[in-house]
């Protein structure tokens, strides 16, 4: 074996071993990279204002991230956990609560809806009620331990949070140097390296900015509607709508539409009609009007890619997969776009 090949094998083994050591903090590393990419323009501005003091600029940028991102998310998470725990406890105190809820809803369905269900092959409403109740009960049984165990892993969470902020500081301060090392190690020619880095940064920023801001807007509008209608656990449903809004076309409707149907089926016609109209004309159309303002057509991912990558991300990485999946898809698109146009760079 030649000396060069042996050394490459040693480099590969050392890299794999280091990646294995970092595996428990893989999420922290990922989010540190994403935050560094998103806030790097702010860091550059602060560096110029502070006359090149990159360490101070890095610290100030991290503090800004904590104030405008981390602390609000922590406060929202605490409130959401409290509401989710209350809702889950209420449901689990009565094993027949869900079945009774669906029984009341289906018993109050109008004749035209009953006929429609029969035409669709759901004429046996009791069987439909049972299957829906069992599915929802099973879903609650799966997520309840996860929600209730969040408070039990507080130490691990804050260790990961500290690691993320610590890494973010160094990614800001030493980012250009790290990128230089990566370029030196890469076998790609300089033109392709620069094109890949520029396209990757552009696509990731557009994806994260567009998806997160639109999800926050749709979730916030939905939460406002729930608050006006007096629906309990508004923060919980708002956060769920924010997450599900990352699914294109129908995401937020998975939360507000069942409430609208329930209102209509139980005789609360005004509330149901208002929520249905509000959901369709306000919440549902946000994506169509706002996304083009935030994400250019050149960097927008196809909706089917967003949907599949989001679902795959959740299945692979859990809750953070709502963002991790689309970001990995953005990386995939950036790499392939550079590969296809490699003769031009």
Look at residue 342 in the predicted model and tell me its pLDDT.
56
Distance (Å, whole) CA 265 – CA 111: 11
Residue 336 — pLDDT band, cuts 50, 70, 90? confident
Q: In the structure encoding, which two tokens stand for residue 192, read together?
A: 């392709």
DSSP state of 187: -
Contacts (Cβ under 8 Å, ≥6 apart) of 97: 90, 91
Q: Across residues 243-270, what is the average pLDDT?
A: 78
Q: How many C-beta atoms surround the C-beta of residue 278 within 10 A?
A: 19
C-beta separation of 267 from 194 below 8 A: no
Look at residue 100 in the predicted model and tell me its pLDDT.
58
How many percent of the chain have pLDDT more than 90? 6
Look at residue 314 in the predicted model and tell me its pLDDT.
74
C-beta separation of 173 from 208 below 8 A: no
Residue 65 — pLDDT band, cuts 50, 70, 90? very high
Q: Across residues 220-236, what is the average pLDDT?
A: 86
pLDDT for 209 beyond 80: no
pTM listed for this prediction: 0.69
Residue 283 — pLDDT band, cuts 50, 70, 90? confident
Q: Give 191: exposed, middle or buried? Use CB within 10 Å, 0-12, 13-18, 19+.
A: exposed
Residue 125 — pLDDT band, cuts 50, 70, 90? very low
Residue 109 — pLDDT band, cuts 50, 70, 90? low
Residue with tokens 């539409």: 257
Q: Across residues 221-235, what is the average pLDDT?
A: 86
The residues spanned by each domain of the chain are 186-345
C-beta separation of 255 from 237 below 8 A: yes
DSSP state of 319: G
The distance from CA 184 to its chain's CA centroid, rounded to whole angstroms, is 34
Residue 6 — pLDDT band, cuts 50, 70, 90? confident
Summarize pLDDT for 147-178 with one digit per residue, the tens.
444 444 567 778 888 888 999 999 998 888 88
C-beta separation of 274 from 285 below 8 A: no
């Amino acid at each position: 074996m030649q000396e060069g090949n042996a050394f490459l094998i040693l480099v590969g083994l050392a890299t794999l071993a280091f990646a294995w050591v970092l595996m428990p903090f893989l999420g922290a590393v990922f989010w540190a990279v994403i935050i560094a990419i998103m806030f790097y323009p702010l860091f550059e501005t602060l560096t110029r204002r502070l006359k090149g003091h990159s360490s101070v600029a890095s610290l100030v940028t991290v503090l800004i991230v904590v104030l405008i991102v981390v602390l609000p998310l922590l406060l929202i998470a605490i409130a959401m956990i409290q509401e989710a725990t209350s809702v889950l406890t209420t449901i689990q105190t009565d094993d027949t609560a869900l079945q009774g809820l669906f029984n009341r809803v289906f018993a109050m369905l109008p004749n035209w809806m009953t006929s429609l269900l029969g035409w669709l092959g759901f004429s046996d409403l009791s069987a439909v009620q049972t299957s829906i109740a069992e599915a929802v009960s099973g879903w609650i049984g799966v997520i309840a331990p996860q929600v209730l165990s969040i408070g039990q892993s507080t130490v691990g969470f804050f260790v990961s949070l500290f690691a993320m902020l610590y890494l973010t500081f160094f990614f800001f301060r030493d980012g250009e140097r790290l990128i230089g090392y990566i370029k030196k190690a890469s076998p790609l020619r300089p033109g392709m390296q620069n094109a890949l880095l520029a396209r990757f940064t552009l696509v990731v920023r557009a994806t994260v900015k567009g998806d997160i801001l639109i999800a926050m807007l749709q979730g916030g509008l939905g939460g406002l509607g729930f608050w006006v209608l007096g629906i309990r656990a508004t923060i919980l449903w708002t956060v769920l709508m924010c997450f599900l809004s990352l699914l294109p076309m129908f995401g937020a409707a998975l939360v507000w539409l069942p409430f609208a149907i329930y209102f209509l089926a139980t005789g609360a016609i005004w509330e149901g009609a208002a929520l249905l109209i509000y959901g369709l004309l306000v919440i549902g159309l946000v994506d169509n009007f706002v996304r083009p303002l935030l994400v250019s057509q050149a960097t927008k991912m196809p909706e089917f890619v967003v949907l599949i990558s989001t679902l795959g991300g959740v299945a692979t990485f859990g809750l953070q997969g709502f963002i991790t999946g689309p970001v990995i898809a953005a990386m995939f698109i950036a790499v392939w776009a550079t590969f296809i146009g490699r003769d031009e760079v």
